[in-house]
């Protein structure tokens, strides 16, 4: 697997991580928890990718490097041949920890041997240099997050059986602070796709794990990538889709999350790798998510009609109840991760390097 631009850390890092992992395992055993294998890394680091350089009007000697993405990477000492790029819509925080502070997808899948890449797209998070003026106006999102993430129909009335520590005020405070300011327009999705496609080309074989509108951006990034490094997409609750022209719903390029349409020849790129569209519980209680499930089924029907490999997974259908919009950060995220592991195995994407 290629890792251009990565800065390798000294081998003493591996020894330190082994020690830290063994200490973690000892603590888990001492408190009655199951011991977990240590996370042993060969390297870790970060790099920027994509973007452009713009000159100051009237003074071309002054420039700004902007609209790039940011990739933070963690490479296990014993690694699988396909990595996972964790593609957020709310923020990278949701991949790092469970809502109660427990282990998130980043650590879960590093323990399984997958190289992990945390992605910040242009103009958000650690890639916030914009080539254009951006006006930030404070909005009042806390209660809207509660409803949009399906913690309940109205704030603060939690869904019964929710896989969120609803009695933990600190967990709710951490969840709502985790979100980045977003720009959910087609123009922004296409901007992020330019850098996202270059990131896929640079990283090597990878499966995109996405959340919310990150799924739409990953689909568009797969269209922008020049090579065939995108080996799969598992999209947790995307509201945005891309369809071939003349098929599916009417395009709405000015609406948040589209959908948008591309020529069939371009759409065919999305039929070259497997796609799984995953939804949690309570989708019937929310018009936007009920609509998204319906769109997901339509997308898969069209992709499969053109030779693709696309499926929709509702977590309650496999016995996982109570999951929110961000299922991989819920209290049962290890069970949710096991469903992903099953999918990776079925698609032959879990082999170790050299196998």
pLDDT recorded at residue 31: 34
Residue in 309, 284, 305, 308 with CA at minimum distance from that of residue 294: 284
Q: List, as one string, the DSSP characters of 53-119.
A: EEEETTEEEEEEEES-EEEEEEEESS-BSSEEEEE-SS-THHHHB-TTS-B-HHHHHHHTT--EEEE
Contact (CB, 8 A) for 106 and 55: no
pLDDT recorded at residue 3: 46
Query: Tokens for 110?
Result: 């590093």
pLDDT recorded at residue 35: 84
pLDDT recorded at residue 196: 98
pLDDT recorded at residue 273: 98
pLDDT recorded at residue 90: 78
DSSP-derived 3-state class of residue 138: coil
Greatest pairwise CA separation for the chain in angstroms: 67
The whole-number mean pLDDT for each consecutive block of 10 residues of the chain, a chain of 355 residues, reads 43 43 38 75 98 97 98 98 92 95 97 98 95 92 95 97 96 92 92 98 98 97 98 98 98 95 98 98 97 98 98 98 98 98 98 92
| Number of residues written out for the chain | 355
Handedness of CA 86, 89, 91, 93 (dihedral sign): negative
Neighbours of 33 (CB within 10 A): 11
Helices 214-224 & 186-203 angle (0-180, nearest 10): 60
Contact (CB, 8 A) for 266 and 239: no
Instruction: Give me the torsion for CA of 126, 129, 130, 135, rounded to 10°.
Output: 80
């Amino acid at each position: 697997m290629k890792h251009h631009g990565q800065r390798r850390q000294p081998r003493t890092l591996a020894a330190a991580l082994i020690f830290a992992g063994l200490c973690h395992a000892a603590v888990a055993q001492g408190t009655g928890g199951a011991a977990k294998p240590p996370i042993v890394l060969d390297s870790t680091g970060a790099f920027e990718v994509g973007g452009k350089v713009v000159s100051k009007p009237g003074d071309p000697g002054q420039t700004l490097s902007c609209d790039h993405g940011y990739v933070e990477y963690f490479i296990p000492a014993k690694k699988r041949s396909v990595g996972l790029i964790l593609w957020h819509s709310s923020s990278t925080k949701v991949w790092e920890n469970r809502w109660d502070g427990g282990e998130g997808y980043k650590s879960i899948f590093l323990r399984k041997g997958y190289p992990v890449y945390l992605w910040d797209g242009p103009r958000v998070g650690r890639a916030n240099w914009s080539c254009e003026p951006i006006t930030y106006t404070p909005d009042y999102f806390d209660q809207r997050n509660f409803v949009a993430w399906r913690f309940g129909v109205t704030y603060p009335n939690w869904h019964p059986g929710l896989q969120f520590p609803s009695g933990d005020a600190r967990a709710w405070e951490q969840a709502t602070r985790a979100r980045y300011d977003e720009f959910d327009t087609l123009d922004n999705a296409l901007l992020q796709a330019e850098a996202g496609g270059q990131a896929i080309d640079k990283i090597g074989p990878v499966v995109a794990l996405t959340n919310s509108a990150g799924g739409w951006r990953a689909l568009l990034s797969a269209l922008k990538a020049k090579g065939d490094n995108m080996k799969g997409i598992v999209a947790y609750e995307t509201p945005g889709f891309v369809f071939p022209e003349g098929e599916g719903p009417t395009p709405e390029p000015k609406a948040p999350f589209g959908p948008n349409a591309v020529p069939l020849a371009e759409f065919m790129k999305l039929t070259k790798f497997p796609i799984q569209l995953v939804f949690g519980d309570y989708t019937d209680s929310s018009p936007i998510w009920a609509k998204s499930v319906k769109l997901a089924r339509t997308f898969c029907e069209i992709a499969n009609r053109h030779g693709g490999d696309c499926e929709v997974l509702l977590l309650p259908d496999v016995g996982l109840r109570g999951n929110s919009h961000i299922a991989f950060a819920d209290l049962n995220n290890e069970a949710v991760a096991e469903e992903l592991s099953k999918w990776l195995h079925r698609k032959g994407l879990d082999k170790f390097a050299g196998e």
